[in-house]
């Protein structure tokens, strides 16, 4: 029973969990050479040092009349604007440490959004060339951001003929670019364990800020990097936190029937390699409309202009609020800023076009 997971006692009655002072990194090998150190100095100074250590704030107004606490991890404070800055830096850093990339390499990745932007920023710092493979659904704003950071944007115009999906077509394009560019590297965010490891740190920051006293973590899912990283940290540090995975209706990660989704960020059209059964204690599926309501409610109640998946976690907490015990501590990871959704979630004509006039009025 999903609900039964929410019957545990709140953390105030528990002892503080063990916490390591710092999350250990997997390998250090190639960082010892002077060339590597010079090249990687961008990771230890300048803008990339501001990735992570994002604020955790208490949300006091988002739900009135609840007797549990909600804390928000504000990943929009990362310099590229999202939680994906963390895996972007960590995947490149470790690819370099493992000798998979070196100066002069071209990084190729399929991403229409936040990971691409995080990679573009890190590649600019590190002097690497990024080719970001996108499809026609990518917003013009994201394309402009990618190009501003110096990335080459490669637009796949035709979906995969077999499935009608753009994702396989984008992956095929990535593969053909890798074949044709001699020194090229694909991060493979859906399968890369350095995506997961980046989020040991995310969870470490949340757990440390709350002194280990966290009962529920609400975490949206796409590649499952955040979910798995937080889950691994919780297990390895014997925390009693339950994880609520928040997925989009129509996303197949947790076995829902594949369906059309309008809001980018969370959800996936295929099960990521990083997914494993049991990472979550329960999963809540959230519709596009629930996300929009969640985003507007977060904005009006807390003055936080956040992206679609942040609305999704707020909607998931709303769905589960009557099952959360009194005194419990909950944390929600708010993955990105709302500016990239101004033309959609925060534009009345877009909401009306996709959901109708009555829904638009209900929102206002």
Burial class (CB in 10 A: 0-12, 13-18, 19+), 58: exposed
Question: Under the criterion CB under 6 A, does residue 220 sit at the interface with ligand PLP?
Answer: yes
Closest CB 264 distance from ligand PLP, rounded Å: 7
Question: Under the criterion CB under 6 A, does residue 221 sit at the interface with ligand PLP?
Answer: yes
Question: Under the criterion CB under 6 A, does residue 118 sit at the interface with ligand PLP?
Answer: no
Site string for ligand PLP, 261-280 (x = CB under 6 A): ----xx--------------
Burial class (CB in 10 A: 0-12, 13-18, 19+), 159: middle
Nearer residue to ligand PLP within complex by CB, 168 or 311: 311
Closest CB 54 distance from ligand PLP, rounded Å: 14
Closest CB 123 distance from ligand PLP, rounded Å: 17
Nearer residue to ligand PLP within complex by CB, 11 or 202: 202
User: For the residues of 103-122, what is the DSSP string, one character each?
Assistant: TT-EEEEE-SSHHHHHHHHH
Nearer residue to ligand PLP within complex by CB, 106 or 142: 142
CA–CA separation, 199 vs 230, rounded Å? 6
Give me the residues paired with residue 332 across strands.
72, 218
Residues 6+ apart with CB under 8 A from 1: none
Nearer residue to ligand PLP within complex by CB, 169 or 196: 196
**Cα–Cα nearest to 311, from 278, 280, 335, 277:** 335
Question: Under the criterion CB under 6 A, does residue 112 sit at the interface with ligand PLP?
Answer: no
Residues 6+ apart with CB under 8 A from 348: 360, 364
CA atoms within 13 A on the CB side of 171: 10
Question: Under the criterion CB under 6 A, does residue 84 sit at the interface with ligand PLP?
Answer: yes
Nearer residue to ligand PLP within complex by CB, 6 or 246: 246
CA–CA separation, 172 vs 180, rounded Å? 12
For residue 30, CA distances in Å to 21, 35, 36, 101, 164 come to 24, 10, 7, 11, 43
Nearer residue to ligand PLP within complex by CB, 30 or 109: 109
Closest CB 69 distance from ligand PLP, rounded Å: 23
Nearer residue to ligand PLP within complex by CB, 11 or 226: 226
Burial class (CB in 10 A: 0-12, 13-18, 19+), 271: middle
CA atoms within 13 A on the CB side of 98: 12
**341 DSSP assignment:** G
Closest CB 106 distance from ligand PLP, rounded Å: 22
Question: Under the criterion CB under 6 A, does residue 294 sit at the interface with ligand PLP?
Answer: no
The residues in 302-361 that bind ligand PLP, with binding defined as CB under 6 A, are: 307, 309, 335-336
Q: What is the largest CA-CA distance in the chain?
A: 63
Question: Under the criterion CB under 6 A, does residue 251 sit at the interface with ligand PLP?
Answer: no
Closest CB 265 distance from ligand PLP, rounded Å: 3
Site size for ligand PLP (CB under 6 A) = 19
Query: Which range, of 37-45, 56-64, 219-227, 278-286, touches ligand PLP by CB under 6 A?
Result: 219-227
Residue of 11, 30, 94, 114 interacting with ligand PLP (CB under 6 A)? 114
Q: Which residues bind ligand PLP (CB under 6 A)?
A: 82, 84, 113-115, 220-227, 265-266, 307, 309, 335-336
């Amino acid at each position: 029973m999903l609900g039964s997971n929410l019957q545990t006692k709140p953390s105030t009655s528990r002892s503080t969990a063990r916490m390591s002072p710092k999350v250990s990194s997997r390998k250090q090998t190639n960082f010892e050479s002077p060339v590597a150190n010079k090249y990687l100095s961008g990771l230890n100074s300048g803008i990339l040092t501001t990735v992570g250590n994002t604020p955790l704030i208490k949300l006091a107004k988002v739900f009135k009349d609840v007797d549990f606490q909600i804390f928000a991890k504000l990943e929009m404070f990362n310099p590229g604007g999202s939680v994906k800055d963390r895996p972007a830096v960590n995947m490149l850093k470790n690819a370099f440490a493992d000798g998979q990339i070196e100066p002069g390499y071209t990084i190729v990745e399929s991403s229409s959004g936040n990971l691409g932007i995080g990679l573009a920023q890190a590649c600019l710092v590190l002097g690497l060339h990024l080719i970001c493979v996108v499809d026609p659904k990518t917003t013009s704003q994201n394309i402009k951001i990618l190009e501003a950071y110096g990335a080459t944007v490669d637009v796949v115009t035709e979906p995969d003929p077999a499935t009608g999906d753009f994702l396989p077509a984008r992956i095929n394009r990535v593969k053909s670019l890798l074949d044709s560019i001699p020194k090229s590297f694909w991060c493979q965010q859906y399968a890369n364990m350095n995506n997961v490891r980046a989020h040991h740190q995310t969870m470490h920051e949340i757990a440390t800020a709350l002194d280990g006293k966290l009962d529920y973590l609400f975490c949206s899912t796409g590649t499952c990097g955040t979910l798995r990283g937080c889950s691994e940290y919780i297990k390895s540090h014997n925390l009693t936190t339950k994880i609520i995975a928040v997925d989009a209706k129509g996303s197949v990660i947790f076995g829902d029937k594949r369906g059309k989704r309008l809001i980018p960020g969370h959800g996936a059209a295929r099960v990521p390699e990083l997914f494993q059964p049991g990472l979550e204690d329960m999963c809540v599926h959230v519709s596009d409309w629930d996300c929009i309501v969640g985003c507007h409610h977060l904005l009006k109640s807390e003055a936080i202009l956040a992206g679609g998946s942040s609305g999704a976690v707020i909607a998931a907490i709303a769905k589960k609020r009557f099952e959360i015990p009194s005194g419990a501590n909950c944390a929600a990871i708010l993955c990105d800023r709302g500016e990239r959704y101004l033309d959609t979630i925060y534009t009345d004509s877009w909401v009306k076009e996709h959901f109708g006039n009555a829904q638009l009025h209900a929102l206002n």
